[in-house]
A and B are shown apart, each in its own frame.
Chain A
């Protein structure tokens, strides 16, 4: 079982729709959760971080965390073609030799269709 699982996609949504990206993780002691956006040929950039159960909103983006279900999601409202990218889920937590391990999922490719 992979530690951080994402559907690789592509996830296609029409412009203006809500895109829903999902991620599950296996380590129950995980503490911090991140969503990165990566455009083709570019480096990952942080969109959202979330540390406690519930929703966190930032503009058109909402991160949702459910630690009991070991599930984190990212909603993008009013999707734009410029949102077309790969979205990486990252989970930070769970000590191993003093290192708080950060594990990345393989990413979900989002395509927003004009």
Chain B
């Protein structure tokens, strides 16, 4: 069955380290998204991509970057982790810009 996976599921890191969170989908969806979810804020968009080599900033993109070298993967990199980036991160994909988004299982990141 087609699916969307994230790894690692849990990560503890130290302030200043570079961290990469993986997202892989087998639906062949063109659109992929990264969100963070924090209490009181709901889901906030970090970065998104409409296809290979396309990346765009969302509302909370500072300190994060993404790259899209193929249809299946959209890794999220925290260039220099900060405690404010402690959160639960969700990757999502959708076949079109007005279609439903399908979410991965999430990664819980703790920055000490």
Chain A residues packing against B (C-beta within 8 Å) = 31-32, 34, 42-46, 49, 88, 90, 92-93, 97, 99-100, 102, 104-107
Contact = CB atoms under 8 A, between A and B. Distances in A.
Contacts, number: 41
Given A104-B42, A106-B41, A107-B42, A92 B98 contact: yes
Nearest to A44: B103
Nearest to A36: B103
Interface residues of B, number: 19
A106 B42 contact: yes
B8 to A, nearest CB: 15
Interface of B: 33, 35, 40-43, 45, 48, 56, 90, 97-98, 100-106
A104 B98 CA distance: 14
A88 B43 contact: yes
Contacts of B104: 43
A43 B42 contact: no
Given A43-B104, A43-B106, A32 B42 contact: no
Contacts of A49: 100
A58 to B, nearest CB: 13
